[in-house]
Structure 1
Amino acid sequence: MADIFDEVNEIEFETVTMTAEDGSEVEFSIIDNVACGGERYLLVVETELMDDDETEALILKESSINTDDVTYELVEDDAEFDRVADLFAQKGEDYEVEID
């Protein structure tokens, strides 16, 4: 007889691949997205670290859209970051957002 805990439902996340400064590619899982001030933002976690309870999420801002590709950049402005992080914190029922 199978243990009911063996049938844990895993959530599948959409992913986005970013190119690091050294040219390597890093895959991020998209946890959530939000629009603010006419801009679109993604809350992402490095896919390899999804199971780590101490993993830090990043906020990416959509910077351009071409026919086949969307370009994202890290949100580095403190005021913009705080505003968008607050939106994710208000919206996130399935995840916990802590702003440091």
Structure 2
Amino acid sequence: MADIFEEVNEYEFETVTMTAEDGSEVEFSIIDNVACGGERYLLVVETELIDDDEAEALILKETSINTDDVTYEMVEDDAEFDRVADLFAQKGDDYEVEID
């Protein structure tokens, strides 16, 4: 008999691994994605922090696609970031977007 207190709806997220400038690798879970102006963006959270309600998310922009790899970069332009964050905020039923 199943325990009625078991969490029924556990989420499974796709992940991307980013390589930092120092060569270390960090795994991020993809929360959502959106296309805007011909560009594709991902909303990601560091995988080891996925259960932390206060974890900060990053917005990554797809910059190139090769046969085996997709390259993403953090969105650093403030206007672009605000525009894309607003799209995620409008779309996000399962998460809350707060822009600092």
TM over 0.5: yes
Label 1:7 to 1:84 Cα distance change in 2 as closer, same or farther (>3 A).
Answer: closer
Deviation, 1:2, is 4.4
Q: Which runs of 4+ in 1 moved over 3 A?
A: none
Alignment deviations for residues 46-83 of structure 1 (CA, whole Å, 9 cap, x no partner): 00000111100000000001111000000000000000
Q: Which blocks of at least 5 consecutive residues in structure 2 are unaligned?
A: none
Identity %: 93
In the TM superposition, what is the alpha-carbon distance from 1:97 to its structure 2 partner?
Answer: 0.6
1:25-56 per-position Cα deviation (integer Å, ceiling 9, x unaligned): 10000000000010000000000000111100
**Separation in 2, partners of 1:8, 1:49:** 20
TM-score by length of 1: 0.95
Number of residue pairs matched by the alignment: 100
Superposition RMSD in Å: 1.0
> Is the partner of 2:17 in helix, strand or coil?
strand
Q: Determine the C-alpha separation between the residues in 2 that align with 1:2 and 1:37.
A: 48
Residue of structure 1 equivalent to 2:40:
40
